[in-house]
Structure 1
């Protein structure tokens, strides 16, 4: 193919620029590809899909107002649906981190939809006489209302998936809570033996933390349902008809099937993006819980011969290229890293959101990339944690029971019967001699075997609260 055929020439404010003839994007995207190569990868696919949904809603609204003729509006909507369905993404190439508050992505989507719509009507790519990226696809819009609205739509869709994954993880933990309810283990504080508990109680505590995360995610979605579409440049709706402003969010609600509403104060919704900090903080809280639980499991499964060896993880891959037979807790480690990444994303989101100035925040591309990447990682991490770790986890019950029996920490259970001072003397003797607490307590003559059996039984040691004998009944 000759050079003349391989390129077309398009024009913008800066001047003429050659664009690949087969490209669905145009001059604005080509400029952005020259200017931005920061992240090295395109915007998140869910953001691209959401941008296309906004374009479809705008076209439908403009058609209802006769601002677009039926043929043009239909072609734009059909092209937008292709992008929403995951097609043509190879042509939406602008870098995820870009200047201009997201203008490059907005124009990239405008150009791809315009060229695809024109192609549907029999026109060549780059011929914008019938369907123009700005005059038709971007009609009555600004990047400043399209981009943050699309980000909210993308985040809501991912939050729905995350909530489902959190629910699955919660269910697996609750299943293990029931399955392991009667299996005793040593509880620890500051990594030292403390008091006995059960594996069921341990998994139940983790399940409760994850349940809180599920509720937080469910509630935070309400914050994102309020959008500023129709606000155009700064929130005043300049260049957009009043009827468009009042109708377009309803059209987007129909397109996305999400319960969206227009912000009452469009200036506030355009310049203040604290909602993303709030949502990110909730995701960070979930990440903290994921990290803590995965870290606990790694520790409880350590060894297996020279560690705690309380939990048995399903082997999912060989652990070492040099140590034969070694199996590592790789799922827990991957989950922990996803959690760390979200905590990092939260810091980036906080910095970006606080950096808005006057009527606009120019750093929403960083917010979008961090928030959507964090959500995607958490969704995958929750799924892997539930399906490849928690669902397949086992308990080394005999080893855990041995640890409880040989630990002098169980002496705490004897305090109601013997008092703190006598129990302390027994603990010191057990620590110094290595003898069992039960044996040393029996030798004091202050407690009989029946009472020892009762106080050191799993039921008594893990029962909520204690029922000490009156002092007068003690020997």
Structure 2
């Protein structure tokens, strides 16, 4: 090894032994071993800015609490706090290189944060990276902490951010559906049950339903995320608080709440909280609910726009790209299709989270890394799905009004609305003739002279067909 090569490395020591670490790296030997041990997804901590910021916020709050309790001197505390603020502002994210899925219950993630913060704090104090005799990743940055309280708290903070981002995206989509509900309020169409003609409704009612489903799920997410506010910081290893000052848990919660702007709550039983993943299971279940209902909506959009000549062809989705390499002129419903696929993924992620939560043993669940990996993908992909569905599909939907009116006039289903005017017996005869002849109810009614055209048109108005109403009187 040349002098030049030696200058490019530093030697760090851990339980396993000595390792050469790149001199330019802010991470250390623990992180290096984790990178070598867990080449799993190719997705590292640096791709989850919310998790990095949450880890830095926790370390900052811990330094403040430890300093207030006289456990950490002011110089080290100030350096750690300054490093954490830089990281929360986006610095050094490229140094968070551990794979998101890892063994060790998140220890590698915690140590990646400890080492990066320690080495940046050393620089702030005027020392070199790796000069841990002045400020140590474990002794100072991780003081009063364990991976087992830091990591789940960081996951909850990152999930909190992700949920609110998703709710904002869902609100954008909901408002777009609400706008379409107003736009299509006077567009009469046939409702269908089991894909068969039922009774009339308006296209506005159909789109209003999609908006309401989103509003309901926004409320369910608000309920689920309330559980995320409960943290176990101060529990240390298994919830007993070993090595932590008696006042540390309350103080660090207070500091962390102020830093992140969330009213956090310390669990009343830290032993239970350290081993329990129920809040993640609950949140994932709500995300599955969102996915299922969003996918059903997209199924409807694809079906309603099917054709254009040989399908329902009731609405038009905006054309986003050519649909076939062999069939000229074909355009596919690509935006609803991609949202369907996101929904399938979220449903699968919920199974993963369920199994990982169930697999916990005794005082700790070692599988929180895959819980977070799955949960965060569900949150981020659902957010993106809502936004692309709104911008690239819902905004541009138009109604084929003539086609919709024609299907109502030709449907046997409108006979139900005419019972009060022509009687059940006449209505049955009209329905049978329409069914056997293939002609429309509207046409047969006029031909038989059972109703005058202006009276029939009045009965078939959306406001009389699509909601409870008194029988019209014709003089």
- Specify if TM > 0.5: yes
Q: Does 1:389 align with 2:393?
A: yes
User: What secondary structure does 1:93 align onto?
Assistant: coil
Q: Which residue of 1 aligns with 2:27?
A: 25
Contact 1:145 1:231 in 2 (8 A): yes
Residue 119 of structure 2 is aligned to residue 88 of structure 1: no
Task: Return the alpha-carbon distance in structure 1 between the equivalents of residues 268 and 424 of structure 2.
Answer: 64
Deviations 1:361-381 (A, max 9, x none): 111001111111111111111
Q: Does 1:156 align with 2:160?
A: yes
Q: Could you say which residue in structure 2 is the equivalent of 1:430?
A: 434
- Could you tell me how far 1:468 is from its partner in structure 2? 5.7
Match for 2:82 among 56, 61, 78? Answer: 78
Q: Deviations over 1:386-440 (max 9, x none)?
A: 2221122111111111222222222222233344454233222112212221232
The change in CA–CA distance for 1:347 and 1:410 in structure 2 (over 3 A counts) is same
Question: How far apart are 1:284 and its partner, in Å?
Answer: 1.1
Q: Aligned equivalents of 2:312 and 2:135: distance in 1?
A: 68
Q: How many residues align?
A: 470
Alignment of 1:233-382 (within 5 A): 233-382=237-386
Structure 2 residue matching 1:275: 3-state secondary structure = helix
Q: Separation in 1 of the partners of 2:312 and 2:49?
A: 43
Once structures 1 and 2 are overlaid, which stretch shifts more, 22-31 or 213-222? 213-222
Which among 134, 137, 148 is matched to residue 133 of structure 1?
Answer: 137
Q: Distance in 1 between matches of 2:91 and 2:326?
A: 45
Partner of 2:121: 117
Q: In structure 2, what is the equivalent of residue 227 of structure 1? A: 231
Q: Distance in 2 between matches of 1:178 and 1:227?
A: 43
The answer to whether the 8 Å contact 1:416/1:469 transfers is no
Q: Is the 8 A contact 1:352 1:363 kept in 2?
A: yes
Question: 1:125 Cα deviation (Å)?
Answer: 1.5
Report SS of the residue matched to 1:2: helix
TM-score in terms of structure 2 length: 0.95
Q: Does 1:45 align with 2:79?
A: no
Q: CA 1:172 to 1:377, structure 2 compared with 1: closer, same or farther past 3 Å?
A: same
Correspondence for 1:9: 11
CA distance in 2, matches of 1:436, 1:307: 19
2: distance between equivalents of 1:374 and 1:52?
23
The question of whether the paired residues in 2 share the 8 Å contact of 1:111 and 1:133 is answered with: yes
The residue matched to 1:17 in structure 2 has which SS? strand
Structure 2, unmatched stretches of 5+, are: none
User: 1:42: how far off?
Assistant: 0.9
The equivalent position to 2:456 in structure 1, one of 449, 452, 455, is 452
Q: What does residue 177 of structure 2 align with?
A: 173
Counterpart position of 2:217: 213
Alpha-carbon distance in structure 1 between the residues aligned to 2:448 and 2:400: 33
Shift in Å, 1:80: 1.3
Q: CA deviation at 1:358?
A: 0.9
Tell me, yes or no, if the aligned pair for 2:53 and 2:88 is still in contact at 8 Å. Answer: yes
**Residue by residue, what CA displacement relative to the aligned partner does 1:139-198 show, whole Å, maximum 9, x if unpaired?**
000000000101111111111111111111111111111111001112111112212211
Q: CA RMSD in A?
A: 1.9
The unaligned stretches of length 5 or more in structure 1 are: none
CA contact (8 A) 1:8 1:21 kept: yes
Higher mean Cα deviation, 80-89 or 194-203?
80-89
Aligned to 2:66: 62
Cα distance in structure 2, aligned partners of 1:36 and 1:292: 37
Three-state SS of the structure 1 residue aligned to 2:21 is: strand
- The structural deviation recorded for 1:451 is 4.5
Shift of 1:277: 0.8
Task: Find the aligned partners of 2:129 and 2:327 in 1 and give their Cα distance.
Answer: 59
Distance 2:152 2:123 in 1: 29
1:182-193 alignment runs, 5 A limit? 182-193=186-197
Q: Taking structure 1 as reference, are residues 32 and 131 closer, same or farther at Cα in structure 2, changes over 3 Å only? A: same
Residue 468 of structure 2 corresponds to residue 465 of structure 1: yes
What TM-score, normalized by structure 1, do the two folds share?
Answer: 0.95
- Structure 2 SS opposite 1:233: coil
Residue pair 2:410, 2:442 contacting (<8 A) in 1 also: no
